[in-house]
Every structure is written in C-alpha cells, then in structure tokens.
Amino acid sequence: MTARTERLVFWGAVVAMWAVFEVQAFHTPVLLDDWYQLTWHRHHAFGLASIWEYGHYNYFHFNPRIGDVILMMVNGPRAIHLVATPLVQMAFLPLAFAVIFARWPRPTLRDLSLLVILQTLVWLAMPIPGIVYFYRPFATNYLWAFTTMLGLFAVYRLELARPAGAQRWWLVPLMLPLGWVAGMGNEHTGPTAMIAMAALVWWAWKQKRLRAWMVSGLVGLYIGYPMLFFAPGQHLRYAGMATKASPIKLLAERGLSGTGGITIDFLAEAQLALDVVLVAVLIGLARGGLRELPRKTVVAASAFLAAALGMVGTLFASPTVGERLFFAPVVLFCAALVLFADWLLETPAARRFLVIACTLLFAWQVERMVQVLAEGYAENAHRLSLLAAAPANSVAVIPPYDKYKRSRWWWGDDLQYASLREYVANEVYDLSGIEYDQHLHWSEPTPHDHFVATRTFDPPLSPAEDQKLAPRYIPTFWEWALVQLRRSIAMGPIGDVAGHRLVHYVVDMADSPFADPKHRPIRVLDWTPAALTFIDGRMFDDPNGQPYVRIWAPSMPAGPTDAYVEACGETRQVRLQDDVFDHIGPMIPIDFVCRGTYTTFVCQPDVCWFAGRYWR
C-alpha cells in the first residue's frame, strides 16, 4: 500500500469514528442526573453568568468537580453537546497515544492499528464502556476529566522526547489553567497525577530541560486538586458521605480483604483486554518470530502499570467504589498493553492476530453501542412526549423501557427510583407524580406518606408572606428535602428575605400509616443556623442477605427509647441491633411480610424520627 493510500485509509477511519460519535451524541437520551440540569436551565437563561452561578453553588454546596459544570453546559443548547462531546471523544485517542509513545500518531496503517487496538482494549477492560462514553454525567465527570489530564501530560511527554528547545514563555499562562482544570477533574486520579507530575518535573530539572511552563502546569495541578478535595461541597454532597469516615478509618475497616477485593475486581474487568495481548504473545512465540523485548518498553509499561494500580489504590480509602471509577486506571493499564502490542506488531503472525481480532471486537462493540443507544433514545423520546403532554398537576402514566436493566451499554430505566420520579414530575413538568402503566417488581414504590415543612423567621412573617415562600412540594426523601433546603437558603427564596432571617426549618412526616402508641410527631429533619439534625439511614443487606436500615451512628438521636417498622398497613416494634459488619451504626432489622415499602422510625420520649426506607 502506498503512503498516499495509507493516509486516505487513516483519515477515512478518523471521519468514520467521528461519525459514530456524532450519531451517539444525537441519540443521547435524558437519563438520571441529566434531569437535574434540565431543572437548572428551566429557571436560568444560558450564559456566562448562569455558568458562574452554577459552578459557584456547586463548589460550596454540592458537587465541586469541574465535570459537573461541563454537564450543565452540554445539557444546555443542544449544539454544544453535538459539537463538543464528539470532539472530546475523538481527542482522547491521540492524546493517550501521545502520552504512551511521546509522539503524535502519524497517518499510517501501523499507527491506525495501534489506535484501534488501544480503543478496543479500553472498551474491553471497562465494565461499562457505553455508559461512560454516552451517558452525559459519566462522560463529563470521567471521560472529559481524564482526557484533560492526558492533555496536560501529553505536553510534557512530547517536550521531553524532542531535542531541547526554547523556553516558549507563551505556554506559561496556558499551562496554569490546564493544570488547574485537570486537578479539579476527579478525586481519585489527582494523587497519582501529582506524583507523576512531580517525577516529570524532577526529571526535566535533572536533565537541565526544566522550563517555566512546566512549573506553571505543576502549580496549576497542585492548586486544582486540593481545591477539589477540600471543597466545601464535599462536606455536603451525598449528605456528607465524604466526611463520615476518614481515609485512614476506611482503610482500616476494609482491611486486606476489602482492598484486595477492589484490586481483584479491577483485574477481573481488565482480563479480556489482557487475554487478547497474551494470545498474540503466544502466537508470536509459537511462530518463533518475537524479537527481544526492548528495555525501554518494559520501563514505560511498568510506569503505566504502577500509575494504574496507584489510582486503584486511591479507591481503598474512598467512601464510594463504582465501575465508573475504573475508567482512568483502565486507560493506563491498556497503555501498558499497547506498548507490548507495538512490540508484537513487528511479528507478522502476532500482528495479523492483533489487527484482525481488535478490528472485529471494535466493530462488534460499536454495533452494540449504536444499536442499544438508538433503541433507548427512541423510547426516551416517547417518554418525554408523554410527560410533556400530561396536564399540569396530574399523575403521568408511562411505559417502562424494554431494557430496564443496566448493562455494559445502557444505564437502564432511571425512573425506577421513586425519588427521581417525584423530582422529574414536580421540578421539570409541574406534575404531581409519575407512575408506570403496569406493576413492576424492579421499580421502587411511590411512598404512601408525604413531608411538610415549617419555616420560622426572625422577626416572624405573616402567614400570607410565609406562604409565598413555600416550594411547590417537599420531597418525600430526606436527602432531597435537605438538598432543597440548602439550595433555597443559598439561592433563594428563603435565604434572602429582606428584613427577616431564617432561624428554624423543620420537616415532618404527614399522613403516615405508622401507628405510634404515644402519637408523637414524626420528624424528618430539624435545621437551625447552628445545627442540623436528621437520621441518616440507608438500605443494607448483611452477608447472609438479611435486610436492614442501617443508621450512621453520629446521626442517631440521643436517648432513643423505641424503634418501629411500618409496612403493608401494620406497625411492628423492633429492637435496634449492633452493626457487627462495618461498625457504621445501629441497624433496624426488616422482616419481609409483603411487597412494598418498609418505613422505619426511631423514637425519643417526645418525638419519633424518620429513619429511612427499605423496599422490595
């Protein structure tokens, strides 16, 4: 094949890949966290002021990652998503290539083969490739974030691989914000990136290659990551989950078995990608054509493997461990594999296997991603039309998605969560509720009670003035009732009432079937400027499958006298049990007597507290 033909094939493949990503962007449905962005755009005109206001609120009160601000933007005018998202997805491969090989890919069949191999291995090793790439909230917080990190490191890799050049002072003001944005991307990638950046800068200094812009990028990274990790919003999001246990405590609680389990899970997910390369090695050995493995390849691959395991290691001390958090270490793990693939391409038999196998696997994964998302988008569009057509304050009835379960390619049916149905109904469509058109065992039942809020101002407001501040509804889930309170204080209307100061905010449960022998009020949360009181109770199954509502110990009210479970119209008193598994806090046992919602309560002498729900 001539060089000209190779260039045509290379650029034809680039255009085809861009077309796939463009189709996927067009077929991106509104799912889960996307709904919260639609609410923002419903009440704010899109522009720089809106972006700043959203970012400021998130940093101090919610999710401080820069990816969440990007999520708001790509959920704004559709053109932003259609243009920007495919460009970032396209940029990922050449930036990763530059970091791996310290050069840009050339328009040759060999480099095209390496790019296809890299993308195929990354998709194989990722537990949920279709979701990370095409579910906007994951894409912006993980794919966009790590692509930015790759862009930062690519500049250093390319510079240190070429002969020493001029200072390029114009890079200094550019590298500082690039490093800052990379640091603000993700809590789990920052520590390893900071160590790697320090090593690169030290190496440049040792080689008398240190430039001012290198220091600027390092400073940006070392500012951005601490800003993210210590952001005020980290103490509030997920009801303060990040502050409930220190990293050292989490490490101690997980122990060798817990940390080993995370590592094994990562390696198990990466096994398919590793197998492809191992088979190519065996073919090369069988044909006797493998040349000696260069020391440079071994060193570089070892560095990428160490970085991958370093990022996996940060999960040992993380309060959340999910499949999406494997994305960055998967890329680095596959970077090591691609270095070996580059070596294997020198052997004809191994090269034929790698190119054919990865091309077929690549085509199969693209076909699955395109088909699944197109089907989901069509169902999503139908659901949106039904919700938009429903009369105000009515209960909209919708069909479930055919693919309601989560898979490698598809999130699943997001409205299976009762809290999200309530949110979408009230915040996005001014409805009173959303229900499925059939009974579904996998869908969380709508709670049969509701919450009411009482606001107290100093000096007091008149009933008519207070009523003007009342929200459309009070979420019947304590987490979202708390988010609603914090947002109302930070952004109005209750935080900026002229001449009046909010001094007390109470949320109580009303219309509950709970039969309390003492007829005490049921408190959900109690807020004053000095303190916030609520019970943080969550669903939990012990290793034997016994269900509980487990309470975070610091949120437990002082001097509890009794505890209850209400379900299926019956109230039963229960005894609190110790958490012998994770030592998080007391547990309320659940005994199944029917399908539905099990609501739990912990009582003091004069008040009962809503402690959480369990459903099946």
Output the pTM of the full model.
0.92
Tokens matching residue 239: 């009801």
Cβ-contact 321, 315 below 8 angstroms: yes
pLDDT for 166 equals 78
pLDDT tens, residue by residue, 127-171: 999 999 999 999 999 999 999 999 999 999 999 998 887 788 899
CA nearest neighbour of 525 among 516, 536, 514: 536
With the C-alpha atoms ordered 294, 298, 303, 307, is the resulting torsion angle positive or negative? positive
Q: Which residues of the chain have pLDDT under 50?
A: none
Residue 15: strand, helix, or coil: helix
Q: Which amino acid is at 560?
A: P
> Please, is 347 exposed, middle or buried when counting C-beta atoms within 10 Å of its C-beta (0-12, 13-18, 19+)?
buried
Cis-peptide into 493, omega within 30 deg: yes
Cβ-contact 225, 184 below 8 angstroms: yes
Contacts of 560 (CB under 8 A, 6+ apart): 576, 602, 603, 604
CA nearest neighbour of 604 among 503, 510, 535, 506: 535
Residue found under tokens 């209750």: 494
Other CB atoms closer than 10 Å to residue 498's CB: what's the count?
4
Cis-peptide into 459, omega within 30 deg: yes
Q: How far is CA 91 from CA 1, 98, 334, 605, in A?
A: 27, 11, 17, 62
What's the CA gap between 551 and 267, in Å, rounded?
33
Which residues face 540 on adjacent strands? 548
Element (DSSP H or E) covering residue 468: helix 463-468
CA nearest neighbour of 446 among 429, 457, 466, 431: 431
Contacts of 17 (CB under 8 A, 6+ apart): 90
pLDDT for 114 equals 97
